[in-house]
Structure 1
Amino acid sequence: MTLDTVKHATETPDVEQPWAELGLKKDEYERIREILGRRPTGAELAMYSVMWSEHCSYKSSKVHLKQFGEKAPQNDAMLVGIGENAGVVDVGQGYAVTFKVESHNHPSYIEPYQGAATGVGGIVRDILAMGARPVAVVDPLRFGAADHPDTKRVLPGVVAGIGGYGNCLGLPNIGGEVVFDACYQGNPLVNAGCIGVMRHEDIHLAKASGPGNKVILYGARTGGDGIGGVSVLASETFDDTKPTKRPAVQVGDPFQEKLLIECTLEVFREKLVAGIQDLGGAGLSCATSELASAGTGGMRVELDTVPLRDATLSPEEILMSESQERMCAIVEPQHVDRFMEICEKWDVIATVIGEVTDGERLEIFWHGDQIVDVPPGTVAHEGPTYHRPYARPEWQDALQADDAGKLPRPATAEELRAQVLQLVSSPNQASKAWVTDQYDRFVQGNTVLAQPEDAGMVRIDEKTNLGVAIATDGNGRYAKLDPYAGAQLALAESYRNVAASGAKPLAVSDCLNFGSPEDPAVMWQFAEATRGLADACLELGTPVTGGNVSLYNQTGDTAIHPTPVVAVLGVIDDVTRRTPIAFAEEGQLLYLLGDTREEFGGSAWSQVVHDHLGGLPPKVDLARERLLGEILIAASRDGMIDAAHDLSDGGLVQAVVESCLRGGNGARLVVPDGLDAFTFLFSESAGRAVVAVPRSEELRFTDMCGARGLPATRIGVVDGDAVDVQGEFSVPLAELREAYEATIPGLLA
């Protein structure tokens, strides 16, 4: 077979090429020909196909994502924003923190263990590429119906993959969610996040500058796994009639990644690197084109020097391979020998595969023959931009009119008690210890809070106790009812969770999970959610530092609920002043902060008791969220509260049960004037939290709330060994614990 060189492509303009099989549209293929002034070579076609994929180019979403820049709040903490591997924020004392959330949804359905494991590996390398030491991971997860047979295949594999990879890396898993809903059947959402810490002066960027500087590929050898992962696997809906896409799923080796991390941090410490990029989606195609495009010159690569696991790989396959545990560094010639010494010390394979040139082209050669000659920016950053048509779906009005407030409510105290137990034992509200116990949450010894706390928190300075907190949230049911409000509620809940732990919210990363962008109804959901999130970030003063869009999450014509997952990062000056959720001491006074209204649209109660989705989600009051956050942070810092738990899914009763079980103490509750017991217990009004106040601090705390205008209602006391709603019912903690803890193990047995 003749090698398809640039010369050959120029001489054979009419050769048929498999552009459609590689995920390209006809007009995209014609655009590539126009850019090059000829047909692309096979290697060039491979590069454009992966880099112009939905996953890499954001071609359907970037017209909406630009709002995150246009509406970005002024925030002095921002050091690196959207456009790099991950955002970076200043957290004080000379420290910077980088964090990001990404998706590995489609691979995790095809091959749950490796799909989830390599999702962790990829996000960790994104953080590493910024110059930071990864210090913690989080994993927001969504699965199909809890009792569906395929959930028993997907969930254990995903959890084992996350735990297996993260535990081997020695990274604590401090947060995330596990949500079940039939809409995710066949399209689980496996989102992974990572936090890294560095000094300000250690920030690294992905660029290749300086003619003569060497391009060094280091880490694992390149294999045949992950080929087409982003161009095909992540850019199509699933269809039962299509063959398996298992070869497109990457295979991970966490021990190789651990060596890669330590090796990279050492070359950073010795300042041997002028630019760096990890190899994730699109592999070498991404690393070479993005480094060259962001630099000041061109790049020449000798592709046949790439170390291979499979000697039969073609040049196209090498460029498309998404083999894990690989990095690409730009190194000045005088530093190459030392760079190689460090790689050898860590048993990491390192190879000079090219150099930076003073030209403007990315040129790739195979055994001396030129197979790629492209302007790198056209590959990396100038892919198609689609203005997809979008329209509010015809069914939206009927969905919102189907008010959950009209559903039958418990008529007796016995029914009310039974529904509390039904809620607490439901898969979404029950304990996720079966999952989280498979993760090492405390490795490294700096974890301060972890699941099931409101936010994960790690100490980043042992002398000063400076720390950071992170929470991830996203309610697809709310977003289905109103995508604009649903995205804002996701941000509000994460913001509230971070504040409830005592940390000040600083910045946002997001993972926007939606169905097919070719469906105008889905595109409307995406446009509304993006607009809602951008508007809310502006009002809360929390800029979006980066994130991920995952589209085509649907099977046939059935899309998942729109699921914007929002991660909020916060900073706390002294982690010893953190606030846990546990009601740990009898006699603590319980206060409900915020206003409770009859809001049941999308609620856990409506789902669990009536299998209903309809109406409107809770109203969003971002000014109230900000005020509540300020009160929670001040109360934590000044020792006015011993525990705090945000109110969200399941309402007050779910929060109280969790805090009681966590602390091993019961609670006596009194229904406040103006509320009925049902609304008091099950409403999901936003902007609320329950706090435990020491009696000695009650006056100081209530005076602060009163002075700031935050409603604070005394609703009970920590006492006894039951949750007792006076005048209604009492449930012993032992009965609640059995209901809360038995569900997930029972489903997965």
Structure 2
Amino acid sequence: SSYGNQIGLATSQVAEIYDPGYKAKRMEVGYVAGAVPKNWVRREAPLPGDRVIMVGGKTGRDGVGGASGSSKVQDETSINTLSAEVQKGDAVEERKIQRLFRKPEVTRLIKKCNDFGAGGVSVAIGEIADSLHINLDKLPTKYAGLNGTELAISESQERMAVVVEAKDVAAFIEHASQENLLAVEVAEVTDSGRMQVYWRGEMIVDLDRTFLDTAGTQKSMNATAFCDVNEEKKNTTPLTLEQFKKELGKLNVASQKGLIENFDSHVGRTTVLMPLGGKNLKTPSLASVNTIPVLHKSTTTVAISTWGFSVDLANKNPFLMGGYAVVESLAKLVASGGNHKNARLSFQEYFEKLGADAVKWGKPLQALLGALEAQL
């Protein structure tokens, strides 16, 4: 959670939500907003002959299977058997990438760019163009002994894939070197219509792009949406002094001042609204409000972010919670001075293992329908 601070970003709003269902697994949701002048960005389709450069950290076994690992059943032994699935961050390397990408003479060389997230090379580079010749032997590695599969799917952090014209490869690598960053050419855009991956001179992957674009085998699942419309009425309790004190003692209601102050909300000098306000500086702010960082200039443009969620309501009625998540987040946005018509919504779904249980599948279905209903 402190990683943002480590790479020079302000953490201007932090909140934790508690529920017995989160004991085994927890989800962390965060976001960073950034912007550059339009004339810094090309956004062009890769063409045959273009090159793909990997810039940033080296590749290791950390993060192999990380994306799918979040959906696995885990217990006390998982720390011994699945720990390699956890990516290892490198804040210094990430900060150097930030510095590199804030140079217009660099960004104007880039036709297309992907970060190395879930799936590693196979996704970050595999999705960047329709036809590719990828050479895994060119990847800088943290240590010897990695096989082709590990090189292809490692989710080692602080790596970016960029597409540049062949004539710009040397210039991009030189710019990266000035920031003390590794940058190597690892793939070429072709016209084969296939993603071909080579390791030790042997082709280990040869997939047709039309097949990849299908996203694999189509799956379907039955879902039964069910909720008790009288649930709220049955659980309504009178507001008494004793009940009021009991409510204040709940973790989801009690102050999180200690948690909030573990993070730096000032770094970078962009924070407009401090995370705690009021007469005694103990009231959590409704929103995170920060100016967009610009170099050698000032700006009055801000990014406002809010969130809405109640775990108690989500457990009782996912449909209502989906709708109220939209209403609550937009209400906070408007109360903080934002315009709801310019808002962009992002939904994070987090449910128990669904299996083939139609009733369980009905819960995310209800939440999605509720969120959709609130926007219509």
TM-score past 0.5 threshold: yes
Counterpart of 1:508?
345
For 1:353, which of 186, 200, 203 is the aligned residue? Answer: 186
Matched, 1:485 2:320: yes
* Contact preservation (8 Å) 1:484, 1:532: yes
For 2:126, which of 289, 293, 313 is the aligned residue? Answer: 289
Matched, 1:188 2:188: no
Counterpart of 1:472?
307
Distance 1:459 1:264, change over 3 A: closer
**Structure with larger RCO (C-alpha < 8 A, sep 6+):** 2
* Contact preservation (8 Å) 1:267, 1:342: no
Q: Secondary structure, in 3 states, of the residue corresponding to 1:510?
A: coil
User: What does 1:202-217 correspond to in 2, within 5 Å?
Assistant: 202-203=40-41, 209-217=46-54
Distance 1:377 1:514, change over 3 A: farther
Q: Secondary structure, in 3 states, of the residue corresponding to 1:353?
A: strand
Deviations 1:387-422 (A, max 9, x none): 2111135xx4398277122x3552xxxxx2x54444
User: What does 1:322-361 correspond to in 2, within 5 Å?
Assistant: 322-361=155-194
Report the identity percentage: 27
TM-superposed CA distance for 1:503, in Å, is: 1.3
Deviations 1:468-521 (A, max 9, x none): 211022222212222121111011111111111111122211211122232322
Counterpart of 1:235?
71
Counterpart of 1:315?
148
Higher fraction of strand: 1
* Contact preservation (8 Å) 2:55, 2:160: yes
Counterpart of 2:10?
172
For 2:59, which of 215, 222, 227 is the aligned residue? Answer: 222
Which amino acid in structure 1 is aligned with residue 374 of structure 2? A
Which amino acid in structure 2 is aligned with residue 218 of structure 1? V
Matched, 1:397 2:221: no
TM-superposed CA distance for 1:224, in Å, is: 0.7
Matched, 1:534 2:372: yes
Q: Secondary structure, in 3 states, of the residue corresponding to 1:458?
A: strand
Which amino acid in structure 2 is aligned with residue 187 of structure 1? K
Count of aligned positions: 361
Distance 1:268 1:225, change over 3 A: farther
TM-superposed CA distance for 1:183, in Å, is: 1.7
**What is the TM-score of this pair, normalised by structure 1?**
0.46
Which amino acid in structure 1 is aligned with residue 62 of structure 2? D
* Contact preservation (8 Å) 2:88, 2:157: yes
Matched, 1:276 2:109: no
Counterpart of 2:254?
430
Stretches of structure 2 that go unaligned for 5 or more consecutive residues are 276-283
Counterpart of 2:279?
none
**Counterpart Cα distance in 1 of 2:114 and 2:42:** 9
TM-superposed CA distance for 1:269, in Å, is: 4.8
Which range moved further: 369-378 or 461-470? 461-470
**Counterpart Cα distance in 2 of 1:252 and 1:220:** 10
Distance 1:240 1:390, change over 3 A: farther
* Contact preservation (8 Å) 1:399, 1:481: no
TM-superposed CA distance for 1:381, in Å, is: 5.3
Compare CA radii of gyration and give the structure with the larger one. 1
Q: Secondary structure, in 3 states, of the residue corresponding to 2:150?
A: helix
Tell me how large the CA RMSD over aligned residues is. Answer: 2.3
Distance 1:377 1:208, change over 3 A: farther
Distance 1:268 1:389, change over 3 A: farther
Counterpart of 1:266?
103
Higher fraction of helix: 1
**What is the TM-score of this pair, normalised by structure 2?**
0.89
Q: Secondary structure, in 3 states, of the residue corresponding to 2:132?
A: strand
Matched, 1:459 2:294: no
**Counterpart Cα distance in 2 of 1:286 and 1:499:** 38
Which amino acid in structure 1 is aligned with residue 367 of structure 2? A
Deviations 1:340-395 (A, max 9, x none): 111100111011112111220111112222111112453465233322111135xx
TM-superposed CA distance for 1:218, in Å, is: 1.1
**Counterpart Cα distance in 1 of 2:334 and 2:54:** 42
Q: Secondary structure, in 3 states, of the residue corresponding to 2:29?
A: strand
**Counterpart Cα distance in 2 of 1:398 and 1:241:** 41
* Contact preservation (8 Å) 1:468, 1:503: no
